[in-house]
Amino acid sequence: MSEEILKDVIVGENEDYIINMGPQHPSTHGVLRFEVCLKGETVKYLIPHIGYIHRGIEKMCEANTYQQLIHLTDRMDYLSAHMNNEAVCLCVEDALQVEVPERVKYIRTILDELNRLASHQLWWCAFGMDLGALTSFFYGLRDREHILDIFEESFGSRLLHSFVTPGGLMHDVHPNFQKRVKEFITYFRKKLPEYDQLLTGNIIFQNRVKDIGYMSRETAISYGVTGPSGRGSGYSCDVRKIAPYGAYDKVQFNEILETGGDTFARYKVRVAEMWESMNIIEQLIDNIPEGDFTAKMKPIIKLPPGEYFRRVETARGELAVYVVSDGNKTPYRMKFRTPNFSNLFVMNTLTAGHKIADMIAISGSLDLVIPDIDR
């Protein structure tokens, strides 16, 4: 970073000038710096600079036991914290060849989908706010509070719960859990059409997002863009279908694909995924089997020497965990392949030729969470 001095304005030969959208900015949703080269209002190229929130999680994992490092994974993509935790747990359970009880699988899947709903709600409200529809922020947050209340009652924490542990769950869910989730689904089914009324059908909104930031399927695969951003370009990349885990093989759900490839397609994919999440929860919530909330595990977990790999579908894409173990109680090397890292660097290709205002819309539609990029 030392040679990159923050440039305020540099007037080039052909009237290009470089503007900084600095690390603190209301629209970049985290500490991310964009160096934008503009010609008039049009973006010529864009360079993201990251590392402002690099905490060395991978190095820290080498000094923590497997149960301890679950708490570090929460902090990567904090909006899909449960999926991050589950990725590590699944990797460890695969390595030890432990079979978790059915109850655990059902509850983990329900939590996955609740977390995905909460994450998409926050994405929607921030996306509307970036484009200027300030009321959408409050609609999304009003409904998200219900989910966070459910989390708080069962797990003690609203956002970063670290509820799963290798072998199962930390403790059983609250007796009210089932009832409250069912009430929430009934409530939210009535509220989600309001989101469409406020934003999706609005002509001003559609003009801001249609045909902006087109990403072809080949670009998505080449850049490794997964999740709803990739599915908006017709790239079928849902890990829940490719390599099912938890209770995903027991439920019927559709993988939402749109072929538009522009910002509006990515938007529609995420809104449709909110409906699908509610369908999945509804199929599971009444059928949670009784049983233990954890398998029998030794207190100190040591993975057999070797390398293990596991992937899950977070709200933003494919998270892969790669563990190298040498038989000790801490991993030798732990690598997290995070979805936002790949999603970010496609911004230059998508934004070139558009205006500054479109850049905000595109980065909002890619749904970036910066701590996931930096780790």
Partner 1 sequence: MLNRQELTDIIRAFEPETEFPEGTQLLEAIVPAEKLFALVEKLTSDTKTAFNYLISLTAVDFTTHMTVVYHLDSTEFRHLIVLKSLLSDRENPKTDSLTALYATAEFFEREVFDLFGIRFNNHPNLKRLFLEDDYGYPLRKDFRDEVNIIER
Partner 2 sequence: MSSNIYDFSTLTGSIHASLSGMMSSGWVTFTELVLVGLIFLTFYALIGLFLVYLERKVCAIMQNRIGPNRVGKWGIIQTIADLIKLLLKELIPIRKSDKLLFNLAPFIVIVTTFLGLAILPFAKGLQAIDFNIGVFYVMAVSSLGVVGILLAGWSSNSKYSLIGAIRSGAQIVSYELSVGLSLLAIVVFSGTMQLSGIVESQADGWWIFKGHIPAFISFVIFLVASTAEINRGPFDLAEAESELTAGFHTEYSGIKFAFFFLAEYMNMFIVAALGATLFLGGWMPFHIGNWEGFNHIMNFIPSAVWFISKTFFIILIIMWFKWTFPRLRIDQLLTLEWKYLLPISLFNIVLIAFIVLMGWHF
Q: Could you say which residues in the range 45-64 bind partner 1, by CB under 8 A?
A: 50-51, 54, 56, 58-59, 63
d(CA 165, CA 90): 9
Cα–Cα nearest to 64, from 332, 367, 291 = 332
Strand-pairing partners, residue 42, are 39, 355
Looking up tokens 């708080």 gives: 152
Determine the size of the site formed for partner 2 (CB under 8 A): 31
Sign of the CA dihedral with 15 first, then 16, 17, and 21 last: positive
Contact 233, 217 (CB under 8 A): yes
Amino acid present at 357: A
Question: Which residues between 169 and 198 bind partner 2 (CB under 8 A)?
Answer: 198
Residue 358 CA from chain centroid, whole number = 22
CB of 217 to partner 1, least distance (A): 9
Q: Which lies closer to partner 1 via its Cβ, residue 41 or residue 307? A: 307
Positions 206 through 235 that interact with partner 2 (CB under 8 A)? 207-208
Asked if 41 interacts with partner 2 (CB under 8 A), we say yes
Min dist. Cβ of residue 63 to partner 2 (A):
40
Residue 300 interacts, among partner 2, partner 1, none and using kind-specific CB cut-offs from 5 to 8 Å, with: none
Distance separating alpha carbons of residues 186 and 182, to the nearest angstrom: 6
The 3-state secondary structure of 183-243, one letter per residue: HHHHHHHHHHHHHHHHHHCCHHHHHHHCCCCCCCHHHHHHHCCCHHHHHCCCCCCCHHHHC
Run of H or E residues at 92 = helix 81-96
308 binding partner (options partner 1, partner 2, none; Cβ < 5 to 8 Å by kind): partner 1
Question: Which one of residues 112, 113, 262, 358 is an interface residue with partner 2 (CB under 8 A)?
Answer: 358
Binds partner 2 (CB under 8 A): choice among 6, 63, 134, 159: 134
Helix (H, G, I), strand (E, B), or coil: what is residue 301?
Answer: coil
Our finding on whether 5 is near partner 1 (CB under 8 A) is: no
Binding site for partner 2 (CB under 8 A): 9, 17, 19, 21, 26-27, 41, 128-135, 137-139, 142, 198-199, 202, 204-205, 207-208, 355-358, 360
Binding site for partner 1 (CB under 8 A): 1-3, 50-51, 54, 56, 58-59, 63, 94-95, 219, 221-224, 235-237, 242, 306-309, 311, 318, 320, 322, 324, 332-333, 335, 337, 341-342, 345-346, 374
